[in-house]
């Protein structure tokens, strides 16, 4: 019986955590869209980052230059906003909302520290 109570408590905690992270993720996605997906090519490319297609395949599908996607993907990787793997010399990117949320949460904390004169 004690095990059942612990399971119910854990479920309740998980639900509360989910509620708390929804707003954080929503704000982060809004900021990410404004900062990183400011052009149609970037929006379309980001939607295709599915963990399966190479940047070359995506550039061919979109009819844009590979270099454009390489520059865009480099900024996402540098800021740790996506997951990526290598397939030979090709990068394969996949979306990661949690990384985006963490990035913007850290950015906000840093901004607050600067505003408070701590940095």
Nearest Cα residue to 46 out of 37, 34, 54: 37
Amino acid 20: pLDDT: 73
Read off the pLDDT band of 23 (50, 70, 90). confident
Mean pLDDT in the chain? 90
CATH of the domain at 92: 1.10.10.10
Total domain count, the chain: 1
Q: Give me the domain span that covers residue 99.
A: 2-115
CA distance 53 to 15: 34
DSSP, collapsed to helix, strand or coil, labels residue 47 as: helix
């Amino acid at each position: 019986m004690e095990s059942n109570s612990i399971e119910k408590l854990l479920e309740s905690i998980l639900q509360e955590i989910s509620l708390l992270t929804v707003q954080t993720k929503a704000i982060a996605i809004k900021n990410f869209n404004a900062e990183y997906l400011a052009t149609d090519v970037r929006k379309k490319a980001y939607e295709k980052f599915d963990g399966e297609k190479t940047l070359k395949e995506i550039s061919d599908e979109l009819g844009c230059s590979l270099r454009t996607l390489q520059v865009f993907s480099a900024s996402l990787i540098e800021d740790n906003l996506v997951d990526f793997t290598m397939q030979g010399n090709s990068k394969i990117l996949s979306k990661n909302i949690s990384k985006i949320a963490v990035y913007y949460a850290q950015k906000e904390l840093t901004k607050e520290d600067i505003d408070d004169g701590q940095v």
